Amino acid sequence: MLYPDTEWLRIFTDGSLLSDSPNAGAGVFSEIFSFYVPVGRGTAFDGEIAAIRTALSQLQCHQEKFTRAVILCDSRAALSAIVSNNNPKTQDIFDCRYHLENLASLEKKL
């Protein structure tokens, strides 16, 4: 197993476009927190980014409970946007990058 749960905090994220609506939602689940976040008007991509942002934000709040964490996300586009060297297209992508840098400065491995 690539990220054994005895060594890594595994965080599952998912974003989606809500059926019959122009609104998106984001879900986050781990053994130390879980959330559903209504995103408002947006796309499934916006929901995916919001889910990752929520996970990273919660990691900052629970930093004493982990040293290594992995975010498991099924959106390559969202992950690529966050780790890209290009200017972030949204505030949520900027926030994800900020949280990643801050957690790295605290010697947290993601």
Chunked into runs of 10 residues, the chain (110 residues) has average pLDDT values of 92 93 96 95 96 98 97 97 94 98 97
User: Could you count the other beta carbons within 10 Å of the beta carbon of residue 53?
Assistant: 26
**pLDDT at position 18:** 85
**pLDDT at position 109:** 96
**pLDDT at position 37:** 94
E-state strands within the chain: 9-17, 23-29, 34-41, 69-72
Question: Residue 19 to residues 57, 80, 101, 103: CA-CA distances in angstroms?
Answer: 27, 26, 35, 35
Contact yes or no for 108/63 (Cβ under 8 A):
yes
